């Protein structure tokens, strides 16, 4: 059904070297290096990221290993002639996004470090130097320019909005305060005293910023000139500028915006390969040299040294596992005390830290999205929230999504409330802002690969929040809350309907209306009081990328709070998939494992309702059905009242 979790993950490879992470046993991972057929283990543990660099007879390996409550950055050296590994540096700290650079015969480790904010740092000679340019810093490209290091930082900082930025679309609210993203090209040099002893790192006090809401992505060199590939927000184009940036010249325009593209120089040509495989080549003409001033030395961050440890191969036993999708449980609409209604209901009160402790440790969930109402989120809290989301997001252990709830402005025609779930990076998109004041505009902004996201219909049938399906963009709406603490929204007379909880329900807003009108939507639960409604995702691994892809493909289901296991398939199609309409009967495969004895297992379509047989808390059935339906999903009810709904399989 899917790939086994990290059976073999390749961090990086060259023609002769390969850095891999292999899974051995249930919770054992080994980082290893393969050089010309010779294998050596580097670390036994949960490795989050890694990089290597070949220098003469050695290969340097830098990696971050998670220890359960903290993480350690390590630097190791592999002798190519003897295959012996020695360990040179180990520092405690929350490091991500590593890059090794051989600069003037010295090995430098560049990384992002989470402290009070995201910092761009350099590790050299066991010391950590802060190279940040203000705000939260994430590097996008680093290049060795001979006598200096050039690094591109993606910076978030606060600024006063006085007029629209040229060509840029930025988050903005009525206070005039916004978070501005500032791409910065920084220059770094090693600091040498009178005895030529290197004791620090200098950075330029002149930064080169691209205007108009731009993001520099990659750097390349040609004939001692540096070129930068970057994109303009919302302009759907790639541009390669010739630097010094003050005198920029467009040399490539691919008319396509994709965050993950490749850029390099081949001979005397710029080469860009987009994510869909298209290649653009443009000859190199002209260019300007880079000139930057070198300012004062960067501050040093004091970090506690960690003990060095070598992985012992004798402790590693390989266990072959069946390739399968895993069941991961979570809630995609958890509130903090920033939301005003938290204080009236008492359901969600708590700081960000408190909520993560509650969700991860008390409720034992695998993922969540802290999803407060955007009208209650100011810029300070949004920046803090994204920091904590990245801090608590630990690949293969727990996934924390960036998210918020978009609440329609009252004087607009009723469309509905939507939870916005981001694949990775996130911007707050306000309902009062011109570029996101309708759900259609919001959906268009979420198609931007830099801030890709999906819409989840929240509280679809509750009065004052009810969704108007005819006004919802089908191509951007992937999921709907079929159940939360306010009730069930499957159809007007289902169990737990909002009307049974003294809440007014709108008949034409229930989920069955959307399905009959050809919406391809999956089902999630939650978005109310924690553990009153859960979402289960069938994914290959516990990472943001894997879970997001599974949610976007609707490979998920909802429960009323119990971890009921179920599986629905027709041939190779599983819940959420679309299947070409066959000419003969199809076999529906059902697997259910309840948390208590079952009361009913129903196959629901737009044409027929079928009952499946079960015994105690289990149901394993293969049922033949004529392919004359639009959609088919599984509904399970237990004797204790708890229920589950699989996402539908659609015939097209």
- pLDDT tens digits, one per residue of 74-109: 999 999 888 888 888 899 988 888 999 998 788 999
Q: Is 85 strand, coil or helix?
A: strand
Q: Does residue 423 sit in the same domain as residue 482? A: yes
CB 213 within 8 A of CB 233: yes
Q: Does residue 240 sit in the same domain as residue 123? A: yes
**319 in a structural domain:** no
| pLDDT score for 423 | 92
Q: Does residue 406 sit in the same domain as residue 515? A: yes
Q: Does residue 282 sit in the same domain as residue 402? A: no
**446 in a structural domain:** yes
Tell whether the model's pLDDT for residue 623 goes beyond 90.
Answer: yes
| pLDDT score for 192 | 58
pLDDT band per the 50, 70, 90 thresholds, residue 124: confident
Centre a 10 Å sphere on the Cβ of residue 141 and count the other Cβ atoms it contains: 20
Lowest mean pLDDT among 59-63, 221-225, 344-348: 344-348
* Mean of pLDDT over the chain: 78
User: Cα-flanking dihedrals φ and ψ of residue 362, to 5°?
Assistant: -80, -45
Lowest mean pLDDT among 173-182, 369-378, 460-469: 173-182
Helix (H) or strand (E) holding 383: helix 379-392
Residue 578 sits in a domain of what CATH number? 2.60.40.10
CB 506 within 8 A of CB 529: no
| pLDDT score for 143 | 80
pLDDT band per the 50, 70, 90 thresholds, residue 197: low
Give the chain's count of helices (H) and strands (E): 6, 47
| pLDDT score for 596 | 94
Helix (H) or strand (E) holding 356: helix 352-357
Q: Does residue 556 sit in the same domain as residue 567? A: no
Nearest by Cα to 426 from 299, 544, 291, 538: 544
Please state, in angstroms and rounded to a whole number, the distance separating the CA atoms of residues 420 and 560: 22
pLDDT band per the 50, 70, 90 thresholds, residue 235: very low
CB 562 within 8 A of CB 520: no
> Which domain covers residue 279, as residue numbers?
102-307
β partners of residue 279: 273
| pLDDT score for 315 | 35
| pLDDT score for 378 | 87
Average pLDDT for 44-65: 89
**Residue 362 vs residue 314, higher pLDDT:** 362
| pLDDT score for 308 | 72
Q: Does residue 245 sit in the same domain as residue 353? A: no
Tell whether the model's pLDDT for residue 240 goes beyond 70.
Answer: no
Please state, in angstroms and rounded to a whole number, the distance separating the CA atoms of residues 37 and 139: 33
Tell whether the model's pLDDT for residue 521 goes beyond 90.
Answer: yes
Q: Does residue 526 sit in the same domain as residue 591? A: no
| pLDDT score for 136 | 74
Identify the domain boundary among 520, 540, 560.
560
**What's the total number of domains in the chain?**
4
CB 78 within 8 A of CB 58: yes
| pLDDT score for 132 | 80
In 345-468, the DSSP E strands lie at 367-370, 399-401, 403-406, 417-422, 453-458
Backbone conformation region of residue 450, classed left if phi is above 0, alpha if psi is from -120 to 50, else beta: alpha
H runs (alpha helix) in 503-567: 511-516, 544-552
CB 217 within 8 A of CB 183: no
Nearest by Cα to 474 from 520, 431, 524: 520
Identify the domain boundary among 530, 560, 590.
560
Structure-token pair, residue 604: 């629901």
- pLDDT tens digits, one per residue of 428-447: 999 888 888 888 899 988 98
Q: Does residue 484 sit in the same domain as residue 416? A: yes
Identify the domain boundary among 51, 74, 92.
92
Task: Give the burial string for 307-329 (b: 16+ CB within 10 Å, else e).
Answer: eeeebeeeebeeeeeeeebbebb
| pLDDT score for 232 | 52
Lowest mean pLDDT among 161-170, 185-194, 204-213: 161-170
Tell whether the model's pLDDT for residue 247 goes beyond 50.
Answer: no
Please state, in angstroms and rounded to a whole number, the distance separating the CA atoms of residues 517 and 606: 11
| pLDDT score for 387 | 84
Q: Does residue 274 sit in the same domain as residue 392? A: no
CB 45 within 8 A of CB 23: no
**321 in a structural domain:** no
| pLDDT score for 528 | 57
Q: Does residue 169 sit in the same domain as residue 29? A: no
Average pLDDT for 273-297: 61
Percent of the chain's residues with pLDDT above 90: 31
Average pLDDT for 62-71: 82
Centre a 10 Å sphere on the Cβ of residue 76 and count the other Cβ atoms it contains: 23
Q: Does residue 10 sit in the same domain as residue 124? A: no
Q: Is 364 strand, coil or helix?
A: coil
| pLDDT score for 61 | 94
Q: Does residue 550 sit in the same domain as residue 567? A: no
**584 in a structural domain:** yes
Lowest mean pLDDT among 128-142, 170-184, 580-594: 170-184
Average pLDDT for 178-191: 58
In 459-562, the DSSP E strands lie at 477-484, 487-488, 522-525, 534-539, 556-559
Nearest by Cα to 52 from 96, 14, 22: 14
Q: Is 78 exposed, middle or buried (0-12, 13-18, 19+ CB in 10 A)?
A: buried
- pLDDT tens digits, one per residue of 360-401: 877 889 999 999 888 888 888 888 888 888 888 888 889 999
Residue 411 sits in a domain of what CATH number? 3.20.20.140
| pLDDT score for 335 | 85
**482 in a structural domain:** yes
Tell whether the model's pLDDT for residue 286 goes beyond 70.
Answer: no
**315 in a structural domain:** no
**317 in a structural domain:** no
**528 in a structural domain:** yes
């Amino acid at each position: 059904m899917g790939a086994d979790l990290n059976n073999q993950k390749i961090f990086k490879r060259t023609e002769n070297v390969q850095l891999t992470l292999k899974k051995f046993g249930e919770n054992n991972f080994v980082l290893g290096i393969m050089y010309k057929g010779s294998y050596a283990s580097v670390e036994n543990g949960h490795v989050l990221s890694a990089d290597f660099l070949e220098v003469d007879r050695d290969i340097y390996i830098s990696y971050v290993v998670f220890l359960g409550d903290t993480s350690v950055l390590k630097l190791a050296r592999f002798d190519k002639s003897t295959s012996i590994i020695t360990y040179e540096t180990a520092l405690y700290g929350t490091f991500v996004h590593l890059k090794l650079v051989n600069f003037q015969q010295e090995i430098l480790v560049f990384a992002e470090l989470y402290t009070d904010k995201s910092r761009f740092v350099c590790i050299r000679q066991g010391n950590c130097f802060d190279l940040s340019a203000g705000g939260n810093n994430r590097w996008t490209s680093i290049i060795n320019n001979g006598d200096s290091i050039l690094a591109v930082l993606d910076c978030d900082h606060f600024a006063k909005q006085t007029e629209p930025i040229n060509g840029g679309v930025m988050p903005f609210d009525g206070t005039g305060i916004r978070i501005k993203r500032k791409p910065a090209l920084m220059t770094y040099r090693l600091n040498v005293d009178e005895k030529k002893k290197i004791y620090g790192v200098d950075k330029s006090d002149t930064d080169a910023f691209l205007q108009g809401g731009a993001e520099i992505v990659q750097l390349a060199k040609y004939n001692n000139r540096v070129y930068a590939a970057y994109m303009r927000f919302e302009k759907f184009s790639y541009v390669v500028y010739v630097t010094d940036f003050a005198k920029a010249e467009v040399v490539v325009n691919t008319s396509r915006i994709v965050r993950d593209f490749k850029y390099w120089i081949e001979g005397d040509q710029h080469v860009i390969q987009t994510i869909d495989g298209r290649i653009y080549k443009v000859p190199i003409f002209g260019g300007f040299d880079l000139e930057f001033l070198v300012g004062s030395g960067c501050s040093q961050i004091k970090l506690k040294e960690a003990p060095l440890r070598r992985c012992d191969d004798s402790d590693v036993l390989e266990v072959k596992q069946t390739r399968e999708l895993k069941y991961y449980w979570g809630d995609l609409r958890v509130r903090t005390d920033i939301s005003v209604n938290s204080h009236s209901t008492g359901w969600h009160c708590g700081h960000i830290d408190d909520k993560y402790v509650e969700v991860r440790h008390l409720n034992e969930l695998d993922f969540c999205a802290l999803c407060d109402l955007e009208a209650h989120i100011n810029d300070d809290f949004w920046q803090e929230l994204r920091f904590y989301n990245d801090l608590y997001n630990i690949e293969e252990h727990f996934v924390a999504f960036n998210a918020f709830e978009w609440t329609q402005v009252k004087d607009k025609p009723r469309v509905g409330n939507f939870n916005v779930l981001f694949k990775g990076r996130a911007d707050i998109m306000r309902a009062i802002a011109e570029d996101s004041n309708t759900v259609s505009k919001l959906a268009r902004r979420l198609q931007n690969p830099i801030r890709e996201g999906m819409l989840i219909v929240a509280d679809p049938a509750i009065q004052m929040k009810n969704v108007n399906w005819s006004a919802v963009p089908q191509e951007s709406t992937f999921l709907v809350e079929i159940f939360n603490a306010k009730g069930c929204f499957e159809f007007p007379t289902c169990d737990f309907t909002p009307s049974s909880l003294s809440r007014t329900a709108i008949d034409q807003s229930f989920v069955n209306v959307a399905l009959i009108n050809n919406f391809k939507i999956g089902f999630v639960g939650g978005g109310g009081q924690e553990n009153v409604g859960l979402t289960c995702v069938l994914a290959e691994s516990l990472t943001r990328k894997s879970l997001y892809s599974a949610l976007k493909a609707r490979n998920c289901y909802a429960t009323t709070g119990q971890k009921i296991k179920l599986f629905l398939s027709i041939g190779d199609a599983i819940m959420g998939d679309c299947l070409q309409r066959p000419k003969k009967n199809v076999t529906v495969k059902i697997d259910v494992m309840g948390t208590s004895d079952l009361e009913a297992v129903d196959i629901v379509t737009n044409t027929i309702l079928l009952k499946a047989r079960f015994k105690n808390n289990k149901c394993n059935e293969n049922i033949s059905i004529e392919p004359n339906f639009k959609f088919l999903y599984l509904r399970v009810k237990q004797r204790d009242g708890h229920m589950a709904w699989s996402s539908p399989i659609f015939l097209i």
